[in-house]
Amino acid sequence: MLMKILYLITKSNWGGAQRHVFDLAENMKGKGHSVTVALGGEGILQKKLEDIGVKTYLVTNLERDISTKKDADSFKEIYKLIKRERPDILHLHSPKAAGLGALAGCLLKVKSVIVTVHGWSFNEDRPINQKIMIAFFSWLTMILAHKTVLLSEREYLQASRFPGVKDKIVLIPLGIKPPTFMSIDGAKQMIGKLIDMNLIEISKKIVIGTIAELHPNKGLTYLINAMEQVSKDHPDTICVIIGGGDDLATLHLLIKEKRLESSVLLAGYVDNASEYLKAFNIFVLSSLKEGLPYTILEAGSASLPVVATTVGGIPEIVEDMRSGVLVQPKNSRELAHALSFMIEHSAMRKQYGAALREIVTRKFSLEKMLAEVESLYEKNN
- In the chain, where are the structural domains located? 4-175+365-379, 184-363
Q: What is the DSSP letter of 324?
A: B
- Whether 1 shows a pLDDT value over 90: the answer reads no
- Nearest Cα neighbor of 226 from 159, 308, 150 is 308
The pLDDT value given to residue 179: 86
Using DSSP's 3-state secondary structure scheme, residue 72 falls into: helix
Q: C-alpha angle with apex 46: 40 to 51, nearest 5 degrees?
A: 170
The pLDDT value given to residue 147: 98
Q: What is the pLDDT of residues 3-26, one digit of tens each?
A: 999 999 999 988 889 999 999 999
- Whether 65 shows a pLDDT value over 80: the answer reads no
The pLDDT value given to residue 149: 98
Mean pLDDT of 47-60: 95
The pLDDT value given to residue 111: 94
Mean pLDDT of 141-168: 96
Mean pLDDT of 330-343: 98
Q: What's the burial of 89, exposed, middle or buried (CB within 10 Å: 0-12/13-18/19+)?
A: buried
The reported pTM is: 0.86
The pLDDT value given to residue 220: 98
- Whether 69 shows a pLDDT value over 90: the answer reads no
The pLDDT value given to residue 125: 81
Residue 70 pLDDT level (bands cut at 50, 70, 90): confident
H helices of 172-219, in order, are 184-194, 199-203
Residue 177 pLDDT level (bands cut at 50, 70, 90): confident
Q: Please, what is the angle between helix 220-233 and helix 248-257, to 10°?
A: 30
- Whether 163 shows a pLDDT value over 90: the answer reads yes
Domain 184-363 classification at class level: alpha beta
β-pairing, 147-150 with 169-171? parallel
The pLDDT value given to residue 61: 81
Residue 39 pLDDT level (bands cut at 50, 70, 90): very high
Q: What is the pLDDT of residues 231-286, one digit of tens each?
A: 999 999 999 999 999 999 999 999 999 999 999 999 999 988 999 999 999 999 99
The pLDDT value given to residue 238: 97
The pLDDT value given to residue 184: 95
The pLDDT value given to residue 291: 84
The pLDDT value given to residue 215: 92
- Whether 64 shows a pLDDT value over 80: the answer reads no
Return mean pLDDT, the chain.
94
The pLDDT value given to residue 13: 87
Residue 38 pLDDT level (bands cut at 50, 70, 90): very high
CATH architecture type of domain 4-175+365-379: 3-Layer(aba) Sandwich (3.40)
- Whether 66 shows a pLDDT value over 90: the answer reads no
DSSP string for residues in 112-129: EEEEEESS-GGGSS--HH
- Whether 130 shows a pLDDT value over 80: the answer reads yes
- Whether 67 shows a pLDDT value over 90: the answer reads no
Q: What is the pLDDT of residues 180-213, one digit of tens each?
A: 999 999 999 999 999 999 999 999 999 999 999 9
- Nearest Cα neighbor of 323 from 277, 283, 276, 289 is 283
Residue 126 pLDDT level (bands cut at 50, 70, 90): confident
CA 218 to chain centre: 10
Residue 302 pLDDT level (bands cut at 50, 70, 90): very high
The pLDDT value given to residue 50: 95
